[in-house]
Structure 1
Amino acid sequence: MLAPQQDVHALRLGGLTIEPPVVLAPMAGVTNAAFRQLCAEQGAGLYVCEMITSRGIVERDDKALGMLEFADAEAVRSVQLYGVDPHYVGEAVRFLAGEYGIAHVDLNFGCPVPKVTRKGGGAALPYKRGLLDRILRAAVDAAEPSGIPVTMKTRKGIDDDILTYLDAGRIAENAGCAAIALHGRTAAQHYSGSADWESIARLSEHVGIPVLGNGDIWEAADALRMVEATGADGVVVGRGCLGRPWLFRDLAALFAGRPQPPLPTLGEVAAMIRRHAELLAELMGEDRGLRDMRKHMSWYLKGFVVGSQVRAALGMVESLTQLDALLAELEPDQPFPESEIGVARGRQGSPRKVVLPEGWLDDTECDAAGLAAAELGISGG
């Protein structure tokens, strides 16, 4: 069995101890309180709320505040913020600390989607070193009285010719961040190709704060290989847990030096589907919760032999009663499909040119006032 070369059993983020050193990445439309509860029931770690815009929180936007729902299993309330203005980011952190008992704040500088980068946000922003520094310092200063650790997540850079991650790591460390997470892809890659774990290793050598590696963790053994190969202090898991919340059970076992549990049978996956639907129904109400559950079905059932009619019906399920009847038609003893082990999950797409504001690359300085359009008043982007 693979084992990390260094002693990586717990991650220290300020006064927080995260054991095992595993973080669930925020994913819009997926990592709501129900999904985080489901993952937390499988294994310990840190489970981060869906990304919320700082301005939405400061202006008390209903959608933004509505996303601040937490499950009973979340002993540590963690929120990822998006923002481009130091004022809004700092005020959002103060509000979260005072009104919601948030224990950890992560700042997103890794989003590659065009609607964000074309306005100077997400993975485009670290190119503006001074602004990045001011945002991080505003968050750290606002969090300091409550003892809340602030971390940041970023990508390698805009593309292979414009890499920002080493400068971002230095800026994060100097600003007082507790850790930095690096997705080993550029914004131009989006989710295509392979993650560059060597960049995670270089960042680990470059900074004196914990580094978390993100990218291409499809099985628990991948996390240990990443730690061994890069010297990372922990891992961030995103698409690898889609339809596979038991991945956190496997990660907890391997990081503790225990054998990995067997992969689930179709019957055990069905039980997980039922639990997920139940949690969504509790969170949103049965009608809305079951509609939200539909998108998860293809991830859960990928590779299993399921009749086309049952598969289609599960993708249109409307109630828990109907779900129970459909799950009863599945073959419970069917083993987990070997063809799906180690396979990429979720969106992949293809590389594409990153859309940036006009003149963005002319210099590395920027005033937040020039990014007013990027300070979105809505959440979940």
Structure 2
Amino acid sequence: MRIGSLTLASPVVLAPMAGVTNVAFRTLCRELERSQVGTVSGLYVCEMVTARALVERHPVTMHMTTFAPDESPRSLQLYTVDPATTYTAAKMIADEDLADHIDMNFGCPVPKVTRHGGGAALPFKRRLFGQIVAAAVRATESAGIPVTVKFRIGIDDDHHTHLDAGRIAESEGAAAVALHARTAAQRYSGSADWEQIARLKEHVKTIPVLGNGDIFDASDALTMMATTGCDGVVIGRGCLGRPWLFAELSAAFTGRPAPTPPTLGEVADIIRRHAKLLTAHFGEDKGMRDLRKHIAWYLHGFPAGSELRRALALVTTLDDLDILLGRLDPDVPFPPAATGPRGRQGSPSRVVLPDGWLSDRDDCTVPTKADMMHSGG
């Protein structure tokens, strides 16, 4: 799959997820893909950073843009609401060689973002949306850095925006678009509407269309591409606690034999490696605190016992982690209960928007306060 100047051996993209897709997790996914299928073939996107915070060189944001020495291509996702700030941030990325690819986030459904007109609310303002995409493309064009755009079906069932967003992104020079096939009102609940990916693919003719939503194993990815005609897949919650999923996807798309799912002992080794990578990135204290949520995902479906799970949920050092993981039965095979949906789901809810947001789709006034939070917020 080609995305602008980038050529990917398999059409698989790791979705940026706040607090998850840092350099440690991306390195782990890439290591497992390389060890199991002999190559790194997809695109691994870092967690979202805020354009304003990047321009202001917020220390947390700058740390979030860390890439591994051998990581290529380096992919960075921007959250932004302002064409001027977008241009400055994208130009900074190009001038300082901070990344090889920029993805733009217009899919975040959380109230603290949408209530100010950001995330999944913004594509409703189609002129402003187009100005933002155009600013990023203009800032990076001479450097050959492709800009892609990710969005949802729309705000809710009465306010779909994805077809307009795809058309506008394409016309403003985006190298690809990705659709999370849910509305903002759905959050992560219910089922993704893959038919809307097919509609977007019919609507966008000259650049790749990627599908996102409810891909939890390789067969899901193959089915999505076969039924929608999309050019690639974006993997989010499906890889939580399963960083080896990218090896399985790579094998499926390149015709290699599927890797054998890990035993509990092999999962324990992966957790240890993840812990060391997080410690290298954050230091042991923060790294171990960050690992705790991953442990629950790693052990999903495995027999581990409530007492051991509680202890692992409070682990503070690498040494303690090693001792606790040693209590797991290493010979337990990967269980059927460990497959399928995982991560947050919740329930649908009304999307919180600024007053009067839905009154004029062509209003290009920049929302106020929408980019005040620092990255990862």
Q: What's the TM-score bracket when you normalise by the shorter of the two chains?
A: over 0.9
User: Aligned-pair distance for 1:156?
Assistant: 0.2
Percent of aligned positions with the same letter in both sequences? 62
User: Aligned-pair distance for 1:372?
Assistant: 2.2
Q: Which 4+ stretches in 1 moved above 2 angstroms?
A: 366-369
Is 1:276 matched with 2:266?
no
1:118-145 Cα shifts (integer Å, max 9, x gaps): 1011101111110011000000000101
3-state SS of 1:75 partner: coil
Residue of structure 1 equivalent to 2:182 = 185
Counterpart CA distance in 2 for 1:153 and 1:376 is 21
User: Aligned-pair distance for 1:314?
Assistant: 1.0
Q: Which amino acid aligns with 1:256?
A: T
Residue of structure 2 equivalent to 1:252 = 250
Residue of structure 2 equivalent to 1:156 = 153
3-state SS of 1:346 partner: coil
1:82-136 Cα shifts (integer Å, max 9, x gaps): 1110000111001011224311000000000001111011101111110011000
Q: Is the 8 A contact 1:40 1:73 kept in 2?
A: no
Counterpart CA distance in 2 for 1:203 and 1:293 is 37
Residue of structure 1 equivalent to 2:102 = 105
Residue of structure 2 equivalent to 1:175 = 172
Residue of structure 2 equivalent to 1:20 = 10
Counterpart CA distance in 2 for 1:19 and 1:237 is 16
3-state SS of 2:48 partner: strand
Q: Which moved more, 1:314-323 or 1:160-169?
A: 314-323
3-state SS of 2:368 partner: helix
Q: Is the 8 A contact 2:109 2:185 kept in 1?
A: yes
Any residues of structure 2 matched to 1:108-257 within 5 Å, and which? 108-208=105-205, 209-257=207-255
3-state SS of 2:178 partner: strand
Residue of structure 1 equivalent to 2:374 = 378
1:9-45 Cα shifts (integer Å, max 9, x gaps): xx10111111211111111111111001001112221
Q: Which moved more, 1:192-201 or 1:99-108?
A: 99-108
Is 1:42 matched with 2:39?
no
CA RMSD, aligned part only?
A: 1.1
Q: Which amino acid aligns with 2:261?
A: L
User: Aligned-pair distance for 1:317?
Assistant: 1.0
Counterpart CA distance in 1 for 2:215 and 2:70 is 24
User: Aligned-pair distance for 1:203?
Assistant: 0.6
Extract unaligned runs of 5+ from structure 2: 34-39
Counterpart CA distance in 2 for 1:377 and 1:265 is 41
Counterpart CA distance in 1 for 2:230 and 2:302 is 34
Counterpart CA distance in 2 for 1:221 and 1:148 is 32
Q: Is the 8 A contact 1:133 1:172 kept in 2?
A: yes
**How many residues are matched?**
369
TM-score by length of 2: 0.96
User: Aligned-pair distance for 1:249?
Assistant: 0.7
1:280-299 Cα shifts (integer Å, max 9, x gaps): 11111122211111111110
Residue of structure 2 equivalent to 1:316 = 314
3-state SS of 1:97 partner: helix
Residue of structure 2 equivalent to 1:7 = none
Q: Which amino acid aligns with 1:333?
A: D
User: Aligned-pair distance for 1:311?
Assistant: 1.4
Counterpart CA distance in 2 for 1:137 and 1:226 is 30
User: Aligned-pair distance for 1:376?
Assistant: 2.2
Counterpart CA distance in 1 for 2:2 and 2:215 is 21
Q: Which amino acid aligns with 2:216?
A: W
Q: Is the 8 A contact 2:302 2:337 kept in 1?
A: no
Counterpart CA distance in 1 for 2:338 and 2:265 is 17
User: Aligned-pair distance for 1:377?
Assistant: 4.6
Residue of structure 2 equivalent to 1:61 = 58
Q: Is the 8 A contact 1:39 1:245 kept in 2?
A: yes
1:35-74 Cα shifts (integer Å, max 9, x gaps): 0100111222111111111111112222221211112341
Counterpart CA distance in 2 for 1:222 and 1:73 is 30
Residue of structure 2 equivalent to 1:299 = 297
3-state SS of 1:374 partner: coil
Q: Which amino acid aligns with 2:31?
A: E
